[in-house]
Chains A and B, each alone.
Chain A
Amino acid sequence: MTKLNIWIAKHQNKMTILIAILIGLSLVFNYLMHFEAAATIFMILASIVGAIPVALHAFTALQNKVISIELLVTIAVVGAFIIGEYEESAVVTFLFLFGNYLEQKTLEKTRSSVKSLTKMAPTMAELVVENGQTEMVDVDDLDEGDRVLVKTGGQIPVDGKIVQGTGYMNEASITGESTPIKKGIGDKVFAGSLTDNGTITVETTSVGEDTTFGKIIELVEEAQDSQSPAARFIDKFATYYTPAVLIIGILVWIFTKDFPLAITVLVLGCPGALVIGAPVSNVAGIGNGAKNGILMKGGNAVNTFAQVDTLVLDKTGTLTTGKMSVTIVDNFDGDKEKLLGLLTAVEKTSNHPLGQAIINYAEDQNIKPASGLPTLDTVKGQGLVGQTDDFKILVGNEKLMKANQVNINDLQKKIIEQRMQAGDSVVSMAINQELRLVVGVNDQLRFDAREGLQALKDAGLKKIVMLTGDNKLAAQRIAAKLPIDEVHAELLPEDKVEFVKQFQAQGSTVAFVGDGINDSPSLATADIGIGMGTGTDVAIETSDIILVKSSFDALAHAYILAKKTVANTKENIVIAVGTVALLLLGLIVGVIHMGSGMFVHELSILVVIFNAMRLIRNKSSKLDTDQVLKTAN
């Protein structure tokens, strides 16, 4: 029995072809050679070959107390056989099996995006054994603490820590960032990322499904199966529907004594498109998201996100990159590069975040830090002071300059004011009481924040709210550049949660976008929590939607995709229910028979799958690389 089952499962497609050939032969004998007896024999053969796999499926389902579609078809086919309708029985089984085949092929397409993701999962690793020798092993055989060697161009097989060597890592599969990042001893590396350059030895911390990449895959796989409320309803409906159809068929037989009509009811009653219509939209929608770095946790998340009308954003790390960078440098007298070299040398002695931004800027501009600095003292809340007999250097904020009576002329005053107006923090450097450098440092706005938020509004979002712990002025300056409706500043994390609750109390469906670590209460409270940033464990667990790529383009795409997926699901339900209604109507009028009924059924299944496949191609992004470069500079 088991062997037969598997043999049939493997050869079902070949059997379908065989049935087609038999039916074809029968038609040839009947219409071209007028040899009806032979034609009938071929139809009988076709029916038997076709009925076996269907009946087997029905039987194993019945063993597990499931009344399946196959059972309906089997009864109908056996019935047709009994009353001598061999042509009908052959055509029905053929269409049923052929429909299965097409379903299988098209489903493969809707699943393809996730497949391509799982294919990127590492399978083999080069394990370091004694004496520095290595051997290739399956990643499943690795344990925590094992050391693996990864060469240039190789894929990192595990999550772990570099214990030897340095290299450039391409972590696009984890963070969405494809610019290679330099990593060395002690740095964490992720399974699924690639080494662009360099050979490293990695000490394993987690393997397989426990790695960040493994968790992402698991999440998407589960998401595709976790159903939307509509799909769940249909699923429940279908479990009662199939037995109900069987009972109706029997009742029709008892009351009308019309056996052919009763078995036609069984065929027409197959729930076909109804069962597959709603889930297939979800699979395609979630698959599209996964391909574009958007992880949506199942049909529920998609459904709720589509209903969101209020978007609440955190500022630092979400609207902005969270990284400080130099916006503008103004120098007064003297060589700019030399002055910057001096400033960089001073900042190297401190670990202030503003200083780090200046050091990075100098590195980018190939400016070397100056040497021979005097000893520096820190003035808390102001900056740094260094002094020798004939040289005094001050680096810090306005307070420091004032406290040391530095000369600042009107032009310089105006420049400093302008920088502060723009929301920058200002670092000044004075040498021997003369102001020489004014540097504006800012937490950079994400390059696509404006376009992304605008796209969200265009897609039907009613309100965008920005919440931040920053001061009011800085918050308002950022908000003024963006299509933001409300700004609330100087908040603590718990205040943010209160705002989310307040909007919900007003009847809004709220999505909260945050970086997933300090915002987890808000992420959990909102109807939809959207984690922006790298695929950290916290973000994966608390968010409903995870944007692997921290971009507003992705956020807008996710929103539009969710809306399209929900609309697609509705279309499919309409198609499925409409088909059943039309078939019943056709049956009453008398234009639908067993064979044609099955044909329409299979057709409707294909229609809903093709409809869902439109979601796979959908990419709403309009931002191109030119824009990226322009805004970045």
Chain B
Amino acid sequence: MAKVILQLGELTCPSCMTKIQKAVQNQDGVSNVKVLFNAGKVRADIDESKTSAEKLSKVITDLGYEVLKTKVKELA
């Protein structure tokens, strides 16, 4: 398990948040998705055998949002 933090560009519409939330949640091996609307951040726990930070980043980019920075932290 690892914790992923994605820093996105500024989010302005609350509906974007629902969109990102659902899209990321629907990925295999992803849990505890949290989209921080005001901070423009997405946090999620991932199972590295099933998915990766790059994959999540691509999912969000496909929705039309910029991913500025990705951070992965191993969870013990």
Question: A100-B12, A222-B36 in contact; A5/B62 too (CB < 8 A)?
Answer: yes
Task: Pick the contact of A9: B23, B39, B65 (CB < 8 A).
Answer: B65
Inter-subunit contact B23/A64 (CB<8 Å): yes
> A92-121 vs B: 1/0 string, CB under 8 Å?
000000001001100110010010001000
In the complex, what residue of chain A is closest to B20 when comparing beta carbons? A64
In the complex, what residue of chain A is closest to B63 when comparing beta carbons? A60
B26 interfacial by beta-carbon distance below 8 Å: yes
Inter-subunit contact B15/A6 (CB<8 Å): no
Inter-subunit contact A69/B15 (CB<8 Å): yes
Inter-subunit contact B38/A66 (CB<8 Å): no
Main secondary structure of the interface of B (DSSP, over half): mixed
CB distance from B3 to the nearest CB of A (A): 9
The interface size bin for chain B is 20 to 34
Inter-subunit contact B38/A224 (CB<8 Å): yes
* Residues on A with beta carbons closer than 8 Å to the beta carbon of B18: 61, 64, 66, 239
* Residues on B with beta carbons closer than 8 Å to the beta carbon of A65: 22
Task: Pick the contact of A70: B15, B36, B63 (CB < 8 A).
Answer: B15
* Residues on A with beta carbons closer than 8 Å to the beta carbon of B63: 5, 60, 64
In the complex, what residue of chain A is closest to B22 when comparing beta carbons? A64
* Residues on A with beta carbons closer than 8 Å to the beta carbon of B14: 235, 238, 275-276, 279
A161 to B22, CA, bound (A): 43
A209 to B37, CA, bound (A): 18
Inter-subunit contact A107/B19 (CB<8 Å): no
B51 interfacial by beta-carbon distance below 8 Å: no
A86 to B15, CA, bound (A): 27
Inter-subunit contact B15/A61 (CB<8 Å): yes
A64 to B25, CA, bound (A): 10
Inter-subunit contact B19/A66 (CB<8 Å): yes
A225 interfacial by beta-carbon distance below 8 Å: yes
A279 to B17, CA, bound (A): 13
* Residues on A with beta carbons closer than 8 Å to the beta carbon of B13: 69, 100, 103
A283 interfacial by beta-carbon distance below 8 Å: yes
A65 to B22, CA, bound (A): 8
The interface size bin for chain A is 35 or more
* Residues on A with beta carbons closer than 8 Å to the beta carbon of B5: 209
A2 interfacial by beta-carbon distance below 8 Å: yes
CB distance from B7 to the nearest CB of A (A): 10
A221 interfacial by beta-carbon distance below 8 Å: yes
Task: Pick the contact of A104: B10, B66, B73 (CB < 8 A).
Answer: B10
* Residues on A with beta carbons closer than 8 Å to the beta carbon of B65: 9
> B28-41 vs A: 1/0 string, CB under 8 Å?
00000010111101
Task: Pick the contact of A108: B10, B15, B61 (CB < 8 A).
Answer: B10
Inter-subunit contact A140/B71 (CB<8 Å): yes
In the complex, what residue of chain B is closest to A286 when comparing beta carbons? B38
A56 to B19, CA, bound (A): 13
A57 interfacial by beta-carbon distance below 8 Å: yes
A69 to B19, CA, bound (A): 12
Inter-subunit contact B39/A225 (CB<8 Å): yes
Inter-subunit contact B22/A57 (CB<8 Å): no
Inter-subunit contact B22/A56 (CB<8 Å): no
A263 to B8, CA, bound (A): 34
A8 interfacial by beta-carbon distance below 8 Å: yes
Inter-subunit contact A57/B64 (CB<8 Å): yes
A68 interfacial by beta-carbon distance below 8 Å: yes
Task: Pick the contact of B19: A60, A118, A225 (CB < 8 A).
Answer: A60
* Residues on A with beta carbons closer than 8 Å to the beta carbon of B41: 221
A60 to B38, CA, bound (A): 21
Inter-subunit contact B10/A66 (CB<8 Å): no
* Residues on B with beta carbons closer than 8 Å to the beta carbon of A103: 12-13
In the complex, what residue of chain B is closest to A224 when comparing beta carbons? B38
In the complex, what residue of chain B is closest to A57 when comparing beta carbons? B64
CB distance from B11 to the nearest CB of A (A): 9
Inter-subunit contact A61/B19 (CB<8 Å): yes
Inter-subunit contact A221/B61 (CB<8 Å): no
Inter-subunit contact A60/B64 (CB<8 Å): yes
CB distance from B50 to the nearest CB of A (A): 20
Inter-subunit contact B66/A221 (CB<8 Å): no
20 further interface pairs, Cβ-Cβ under 8 Å (given A66-B19, A279-B14): A2-B62, A6-B64, A6-B66, A9-B65, A10-B66, A56-B64, A61-B15, A64-B23, A68-B15, A68-B19, A69-B13, A104-B10, A209-B5, A221-B36, A221-B38, A222-B36, A224-B38, A225-B37, A225-B39, A238-B14
B-to-A contact residues, CB < 8 Å: 5, 9-10, 12-15, 18-19, 22-23, 26, 34, 36-39, 41, 61-66, 71, 73
A-to-B contact residues, CB < 8 Å: 1-2, 5-6, 8-10, 56-57, 60-61, 64-66, 68-70, 100, 103-104, 107-108, 111, 114, 118, 140, 209, 221-222, 224-225, 235, 238-239, 275-276, 279, 283
Please list 9 pairs of residues, one from A and one from B, whose beta carbons are closer than 8 Å in the complex, sorted by A's number: A10-B66, A56-B64, A64-B63, A118-B39, A221-B36, A221-B41, A224-B39, A225-B36, A239-B18
